[in-house]
Structure 1
């Protein structure tokens, strides 16, 4: 509590600032929100409905052509496709509306509060009015573009990989008798999981609401967590006001995840070859969700709901260890559901200070550094005539990613390799970005999407460090990553590569190459990747045109100098000829 006049003045200033920014933010939301929301909603709806026939055709064609599924499993999936596509339409349209309204109305509001975290206090009110206006509209267009990239490029690439992959020995054939069981359990999962997940989330939402308010008010009074910095108090106050919306969002998230949990029961039937175990999974997941939310909200441990066993044997753990209360759920879902669906409870745990949060490397910083390294590597390869202007143009014109693999796969893998090599050379425990920032287990972004890639990349880096590649082997790996199966282009590139004579050594390098290509292909399917990489390719094309222009100008100047010299030499020859002829005539006259 304030004890002096100075403290009271600071408190009054913070309250006045908060109320002023709140009013300005609300006014901007009412003016900008409808425009941004309509752009995002109508754009996403156009993409969803416009590509829906193509998505159906691509999916059915892939299902018929792939060798990874046997005939009974194909029949089961075909029978379930109408329901799956119906769920896709319902969830995607509803999600577009919610995201459009939330982004359009709350982004200008939050931008008004974020303006007071700028360093220059004299321009805070100016940024409070300006920030979040045109940027929100541009952001909504960017969201539509990234969503279109996912639907137009990422999904077809995934389907193509599914068609081209050979038959896996790990997949067991499905008997026709299990087809009705898969369909029944899938429908049963939807009927059971959706209402029960919704009921559990709604029943526990009041406790989440008051528990969150209690935590935030405690941090406000004790000046901890987000309230530690005076400049961040306004936005932290907005968090208190908007906490009911966070609770509502957690309920919607629970409903959204219940669709996929319910459908996963069909996969349990396929894996376990048992209708009873599929039903047991449907029942057990309700108890798992209840237990998970109890842990997050610090209620009593366990659940009173039944939790039957639905696995014959416990599956092996994933490569990334999971600790604490999420261990059992992580074991069950594996790579498909890395974390069990739960209500969002971000502030019920102990809060970190703003200074600690600022030390984190942001995801956007990783993206920018990665793309910058791709651009620098591309310019070096262009200057060395390793890649050409036509390679870049072919990638922009290519309808599918595999039509221009040198740029689409080779260039990112080439720059990715040098990131790993630079990290190893620097002795880093993580990754050294292009700008010199180190990303390790302590300061990496707390993003679930990044978790799927960070640990495999660290394993790959350790494998490269252990085998201690020589200089010639590194050049050989560069050639394999950049050109892939294009043997003619690889032979033309004389980079000092050395093919290992040891068969084991060559197999290790080829294995590293395959894993790096697989990681790069997976990253290329993520949102925002294609938009950012497209800008890199455009910048490289500009650099290539400038390089060709400078080469032509140098060639023209050399040609001009050569023509001038030739003219001078011809004139000299002509004058000498004339003098010789005059001398000969004179000598004849004398004679």
Structure 2
């Protein structure tokens, strides 16, 4: 839908849309008020029960892993114990009220957003959907939130703590703190908190009128022209509300700027400690004011640069930004090329769908299901693999680690063959540095995968070597089985085999990290169910021949949902007998 051109046409379009918008808003608010108590009740009871029920286990296991880990030395362990104690106490205090607040917010906003989304393009019977959408889905969504939080507090937590407990430090030398550098670091942090707190407050107060009037101007222009956030119907209520509440947003930005002085000022301690120099720490404290000033100028589209000095605070830097009126090279380049205003987003809704990392996670598990069924039909994934996964026993890790790594490897090989600058998915879409999800967690996976892709491309594997690599990645957790299943490739020498093993281990680590991502455990359970049904079909599927076995398999689904080894590899646990004995003592 193209927005109308011209002032009077835009104004008339807005006046015609206003009653329509008010009706949807009133209906959404009524649905939100009716469903909010139920969603709040489900989330408050469910999340509070999880927090209170798992808190003693979190306390005991956190202390145990910190005390027994070999990654850090005694001083760091002592500091970690103090920090973890504070975090665990705050989690108990904040978690329960936070679950109630989250239930209220979700229970009210979900029906409102679903009401406006019901009249989007491509919807059939929009009048019916306006009343139906956001009712039962809000209740089921509340249950899904509780389940995902349970997976994070149980499976993801133990996966992270196992890494802390089982991993050995590089060069067999634990990380330790240099005690002589602590006084200088503390002094730098104190100066940073004092100076940044004062200067950030003054800068934020000075620039808040600019943010207020520029924001109002942009929102009103979009309102009249039905552009930006006002183009999509589902976003109109929130965009209109933004005009009314924009002063509060500006006030929140000022408070956020003041609060940001705490971590930025305290980071002076890290600089002083890393550089073993009090002078460098104090130089960072002075430079942080200039960095903050330049950042706010860039956000508010003001004159680039800063009038505050920017000193050198790293010893290994080739050049520093000295001088009272110095500007970074990026600003100078921008000035030379001419500053281009950012293009307006034609559709917020499409942009959110395109850059949503959960969509990519959904694509990963869809590919796991598709390729897993093919591997089941070939007999590569066996009944033993599924039984080990659903029972929670420490097994080969073929299903919970090898299969996702196998899918990721296929994407890397596909991208390398197509000379893609990013990652080429099976549906033909491409993820690059420009259109990837702007999410910190996604950066942890995307950049290492690009490095592995370039390394695979440089190796120029043959088809036989690629098949060997795929099977090695899939069966890396079961060495005995891999010996009999790996194809014989005469061209592979010991060096290439070692490189392939390194690729497999790195992909295994990335897969293990992905398994800790929110919603991944729930999707993995659905994947195992689908593979279980596919395996039943390959075994005959008939009730007369395999009826009792199929019934036994379906009966094991409940045990599968409580499996505790999500993302844990067999080769790590086999090396540590203590981990094998402790892993069976945990029950949710």
Q: Specify if TM > 0.5.
A: yes
What do the CA deviations read for 1:356-403 (whole angstroms, capped 9, x no partner)?
73893543432222111111222122222222223223222227xx65
Give the structure 2 partner of residue 211 of structure 1. Answer: 214
Are the aligned partners of 1:287 and 1:305 in contact in 2 as well (CA < 8 Å)?
A: yes
Which residue matches 1:27? 30
1:548 and 2:543 are equivalent in the alignment? no
How many pairs were matched up?
526
The answer to whether 1:449 aligns with 2:451 is no
Task: Quickly say closer, same or farther: Cα 1:183–1:224, change in 2 above 3 A.
Answer: same
Higher mean C-alpha deviation, range 495-504 or range 48-57? 495-504
Please tell me whether residue 70 in structure 1 is matched to residue 73 in structure 2: yes
More off after superposition, 90-99 vs 403-412: 90-99
- 1:543, CA displacement in angstroms? 2.2
Partner of 1:365: 359
- Are residues 9 and 286 of structure 1, via their aligned partners in 2, closer, same or farther at CA, if it must alter by over 3 Å? closer
SS of the aligned residue for 1:116 comes to coil
Report if the CA contact (8 A) 2:117-2:233 is conserved: no
Q: Say whether the 8 Å CA contact 1:17–1:234 is kept in structure 2.
A: no
Change (3 A) 1:528 1:404: farther
| Aligned mates of 1:183, 1:142 — CA distance in 2 | 44
C-alpha distance in structure 2 between counterparts of 1:5 and 1:255, whole Å: 43
Distance 1:46 1:309, change over 3 A: farther
Shift of 1:125: 3.0
Q: Does 1:492 align with 2:484?
A: yes
1:386 to 377, 380, 386: 380
Distance 1:485 1:276 in 2: 50
Q: How far apart, in 1, do the equivalents of 2:425 and 2:528 lie?
A: 20
Q: Find the counterpart in structure 2 of residue 587 from structure 1.
A: none
Q: C-alpha displacement at 1:142, in angstroms?
A: 1.8
Q: CA deviation at 1:409?
A: 0.8
**Range that drifts further, 519-528 or 290-299:** 290-299
Residues 397, 478 of structure 2: 8 Å contact kept: no
Instruction: Determine the structure 2 residue equivalent to 1:529.
Output: 520
Residue of structure 2 aligned with 1:351, choices 337, 341, 344: 344
In 1, Cα distance between the equivalents of 2:329 and 2:387? 48
2:530 corresponds, among 525, 539, 562, to: 539
Aligned to 1:414: 406
Change (3 A) 1:398 1:12: same
Structure 2 equivalent of residue 162 of structure 1: 164
In the alignment, does 2:501 pair up with 1:510?
yes
Flag the structure with larger Rg.
1
Q: 1:99 to 1:275 in 2, by over 3 A?
A: farther
Change (3 A) 1:84 1:231: closer
Deviation at 1:428, TM superposition (A): 3.8
Q: Partners of 1:15 and 1:306 in 2: how far apart?
A: 51
* Alignment CA distance shift 1:45-1:56 (3 Å): same
Question: Aligned in 2, Cα 1:97/1:208: closer, same or farther, shift over 3 Å?
Answer: farther
2: CA distance between counterparts of 1:56 and 1:315? 46
How much has 1:20 moved relative to structure 2?
A: 0.6
Q: For the Cα contact (< 8 Å) 1:65–1:163, is it kept in 2?
A: yes
TM-score (norm 2): 0.75
The reply to whether residue 58 of structure 1 matches residue 50 of structure 2 is no
Residue 573 of structure 1 corresponds to none
Equivalent-residue separation in structure 1 for 2:492 and 2:299 (angstroms): 56
**For the Cα contact (< 8 Å) 1:373–1:415, is it kept in 2?**
yes
Alpha-carbon distance change, 269 to 2 in structure 1, aligned in 2, over 3 angstroms: closer
What is the alpha-carbon distance in structure 1 between the residues aligned to residue 315 and residue 447 of structure 2?
29
Range that drifts further, 190-199 or 534-543: 190-199
Gap change, CA 1:191 and 1:301, over 3 Å in 2: same
The separation in 1 between residues aligned to 2:258 and 2:537, in whole angstroms, is 54
- How far did residue 68 of structure 1 move? 2.0
1:341 match: none
**Structure 1 stretches lacking a partner, 5+ long:** 317-321, 328-347, 557-591
For the residues of structure 1 that align with 2:21 and 2:522, how far apart are their CA atoms?
37
1:206 positional shift = 5.9
2:461 to 455, 466, 469: 469
Coordinate RMSD, CA, aligned: 4.2
Shift of 1:53: 2.6
TM-score by length of 1: 0.75
What is the Cα deviation at residue 2 of structure 1? 8.8
| Cα drift, residue 281 of structure 1 | 5.6
**Offset at 1:21?**
1.0
Describe the SS at the equivalent of 1:271.
Answer: helix
Q: Deviations over 1:214-265 (max 9, x none)?
A: 2111122344333456786566435545656755765786688677657656
Q: Distance in 1 between matches of 2:53 and 2:61?
A: 14
Label 1:496 to 1:154 Cα distance change in 2 as closer, same or farther (>3 A): same
Q: Compute the displacement of 1:433 (Å).
A: 2.5
Pair 1:208–1:97, CA change in 2 (3 A): farther
Decide which of 102, 106, 111 is 1:103's aligned counterpart.
Answer: 106
Q: In 2, Cα distance between the equivalents of 1:276 and 1:157?
A: 40
